[in-house]
Amino acid sequence: MKQNLHLITLGVRDFKKSYKFYTETLGWKPASASQDDVAFFQTSGVVFAIYPREKLAEDAKISTEGSGFPGFTLAYNAHSEAEVDEIIRDLKSKGVQIVKEPTKAFWGGYSSYFADPDDYRWEVAFNPFFPFDENGNLKAQN
């Protein structure tokens, strides 16, 4: 298998509420492939999707039961600490739950976390060790 990641799909409890969060609160534009119960958002290199949790579980042949930390987070990397602060201020003004205020991170960066309507955790971080390429894609340096 090639070292690629093409699509991330979150199973959401209330599709309409989540759709409103991603389109109105975050200001993301859905792709034309979106339908009544699935939304796709083109990001830099990866397509992000939301889909009803029950339908996603059915498709993957797993139970919808389970709670707590899902074992992963999603992240937006900013170009500066000031950009992190600006994004978190904007999200706060829209009533988004901020679960970790912006702070210097133990690994040398600066980060904060917020929760979406399904309590998926999004990190907003400035990482001075991961530059962006000419297309705006994050580069994990070797």
pLDDT value, residue 130? 87
The mean pLDDT value of the chain amounts to: 91
Pick among 2.60.40.1180, 1.20.120.10, 3.10.180.10, 1.25.40.10: CATH of 1-64: 3.10.180.10
DSSP assignment string, 99-136: EEEEEE-TTSSEEEEEE-TT--EEEEEE-TTS-B-TTS
Domain boundaries 72-132, CATH class:
alpha beta
Share of the chain above pLDDT 90, in %: 70
Pick from 17-21, 61-65, 130-134, 138-142 the range whose average pLDDT is largest: 17-21
pLDDT in tens, 125-142: 999 988 888 888 888 764
What are the distances in angstroms from CA 42 to CA 28, 36, 79, 85, 112? 9, 17, 20, 24, 23
What local confidence, expressed as pLDDT, does residue 141 receive? 65
Dihedral angle computed from the Cα positions of residues 127, 83, 92 and 30, in that order, rounded to the nearest 10 degrees: -90
Is residue 2 predicted with pLDDT exceeding 50?
yes
Average pLDDT over residues 10-36: 95
In the chain, CATH 3.10.180.10 covers 1-64, 72-132
Predicted confidence (pLDDT) per residue in 69-111, tens digit? 787 899 999 999 999 999 999 999 999 999 999 999 998 999 9
pLDDT of residue 142: 47
Contact by Cβ (8 Å): 44, 16: no
